[in-house]
Amino acid sequence: MKIGSQYLGNNQCEFRVWAPQRQEVAVHLVSLQERLIPLSKEEQGYWSATVSDVQPGSLYFYQLDTTVDRPDPASSLQPKGVHDASQVVDHQGFVWQDQDWNGLPLEQYAIYELHVGTFTTEGTFTAIIDRLPDLLDLGINAIELMPVAAFPGSRNWGYDGVYLYGVQSSYGGPDGLKTLVNACHQAGIAVILDVVYNHFGPEGNYLWDYGPYFTGKYRTPWGDAVNYDDAYSDPVRNFFIENALYWLEEYHIDALRLDAVHAIYDFSAQPFLQQLGAAVEALDQKLGYTHYLIAESDLNDVRVLQSRETGGWGHHSQWCDDFHHALHSVLTGETSGYYQDFGQVSHLAKAYQEGYVYSGQYSVHRQRSHGNSSLSYPGECFVVCIQNHDQVGNRLAGDRLSTLVGFDRLKLAAAAVLLSPFIPMLFMGEEYGETAPFQYFISHGDPNLVAAVRKGRAEEFKSFGWQKEVPDPQSVEVFEESTLNWELGQQGNHKILRSLHKTLIALRKTHPALASLKKEHTKVIHPTDTSVIILHRHANTSHLYICLNFNSDPITFTPSIPSGVWIKILDSADPQWSGSGQTNPQELSAGKEITLSSWGFVLYTQS
């Protein structure tokens, strides 16, 4: 059931809100002509009315029991902030020009995650459009937007959203987002939107006044859990399912990244996440092409990916944290926090072969056994990266990999991700080695809340042993310091690193062996007592032999390469990539030696 304000045309607007424990509900129009229109009670605690003489742009509240005005929980726009009136939006008034767009196959995605506010100095949707040629030149065909749901102030990661249907006004509001999606589709770029269904932000959250959106049955890091399986949970589920369909239909979003599904507490026979998968599939049948659900899950549980018919949730893919942790710990040597479960090259080798590293064995960090096997699931079921907003921004100083390791390891990181048999994702600026931090920032209006956030951030870093002073998340300077420096991408090694990323992405698109993400089309070899991983990627008659050295010492060895003549197509030691200059043979056959430079890699192909 659709909720919120639905502009019907001809100055007619339907209003519907869920408030099961209220005796009276009215829509209070406060602009153009102030009016108070009572709503009629429907089944399951909904209230609704179709109102005449309501134009797009009209501002309104819902008045509850004649005593209190509150914004619409399903507001499309909060033009004056999270505490003020909601605005009627005519979603049919936007002229789309993406009629020929039918999406991209998930296995072809090359994802670029970005934060709207710091991707450009303007910090708007339309400013992103000016950078699309740069992303296209790089080879990107999917952008992932961090959450855009309305949040307090103008500086936020987006995970403090309180109006999940509302588009942040400082970013450009509904028309700004539609303009960006329209431009992306015309350029051949898919758009993934990060949505948060496990909690609401603490400031501007008036859902408590409407009904039992939350339950005390479970406790989360944010307080009471969203009510997915307690009394009154059906309309709560409807709120979120309609929200997902709203982004896909009204904004032409191609895929949703579901934030931290492990923090959705639901022990019902038909879990919400399973119901969501079914709703999106039904929309696909209606619209004629597939939209994707990509979960962030800390569970290492293939139920996320498993078909609904066999008891799973039926989602298309998930972020694979194990791959990140295995690669990061090998590159940096970090072993604190959750990195204590990683640090060996064998962990990374298993990630390449299976996806999950922890598939039921004991985890020191968790002090229990963790995970199940993902071996039977194809590569498109896993999104992998070496940097993302969490893994950078949740470090004490928001320091990027480029400030932690040298240039050779940055090159190796690019190859490790982009040549993997999974869906690769870059975090904005990673392609040229951005050095500006990506820090945690907020702009809350409640001083007590700001103090609580500052204290919480300091507590969060204790398990990692980081002792420096925590940057003030409320500071404008912290936000401004996190903005990308695009000019870096044209300078020195930054330019070379970007060129390498571009070359690797192009290889991924053009080399048949890299196009197949089937597990059986990748053989992972980890020679005993070495820091070398060899990926033999193949499809039909196309073969690619990828040798990666995760060690500061060069290594000379004789790879167990299949028979035939293999041609070198890329060597990180070449001067073109600012390498050491040591050369491997242009042609390689069984029995010949190669030398991998410090933190180096080489690619050989055979057709």
115 and 62 within one domain: no
Q: Cα(153)–Cα(445) distance, rounded to whole angstroms?
A: 7
Indicate whether 464 pLDDT > 80: no
CA angle 249, 30, 207 (to 5 degrees): 55
Indicate whether 124 pLDDT > 80: yes
- When pLDDT is cut at 50, 70 and 90, the band that residue 522 belongs to is very high
Query: Smallest Cα–Cα separation from 429: which of 420, 438, 439?
Result: 438
121 and 191 within one domain: yes
**What pLDDT, in 10s, does the model give residues 486-516?**
999 999 999 999 999 999 999 999 999 999 9
Domain boundaries, position 550: 511-606
Query: Smallest Cα–Cα separation from 379: which of 356, 355, 357?
Result: 355
**What pLDDT, in 10s, does the model give residues 58-77?**
999 999 999 999 999 999 99
185 and 325 within one domain: yes
**What pLDDT, in 10s, does the model give residues 306-324?**
999 999 999 999 999 999 9
CATH of the domain at 81: 2.60.40.10
Active-site residue identified among 72, 259, 408, 430: 259
CATH of the domain at 570: 2.60.40.1180
Which ranges of 256-313 does DSSP label H, i.e. alpha helix? Answer: 272-287
DSSP β-bridge partners for residue 533 = 548
Q: Are 254 and 236 in contact (CB under 8 A)?
A: no
Domain assignment present for residue 547? The answer is yes
> Looking at the whole model, is its pTM more than 0.85?
yes
CB atoms within 10 A of CB 282: 11
3-state secondary structure of 94: coil
CB atoms within 10 A of CB 414: 25
78 and 124 within one domain: no
Mean pLDDT of 434-449: 95
9 and 145 within one domain: no
CB atoms within 10 A of CB 97: 10
550 and 436 within one domain: no
544 and 485 within one domain: no
**What pLDDT, in 10s, does the model give residues 13-30?**
999 999 999 999 999 999
Domain assignment present for residue 499? The answer is no
Domain assignment present for residue 101? The answer is no
Mean pLDDT of 332-347: 96
Q: Cα(358)–Cα(361) distance, rounded to whole angstroms?
A: 6
Could you give the number of structural domains in the chain? Answer: 3
Active-site residue identified among 113, 160, 242, 296: 296
Domain assignment present for residue 200? The answer is yes
CATH of the domain at 487: 3.20.20.80
Alpha-carbon torsion angle 506, 258, 316, 107, nearest 10? 0
Q: Cα(172)–Cα(127) distance, rounded to whole angstroms?
A: 10
Q: Cα(361)–Cα(371) distance, rounded to whole angstroms?
A: 7
532 and 418 within one domain: no
| Catalytic residue check, 259 | yes
Domain assignment present for residue 386? The answer is yes
118 and 38 within one domain: no
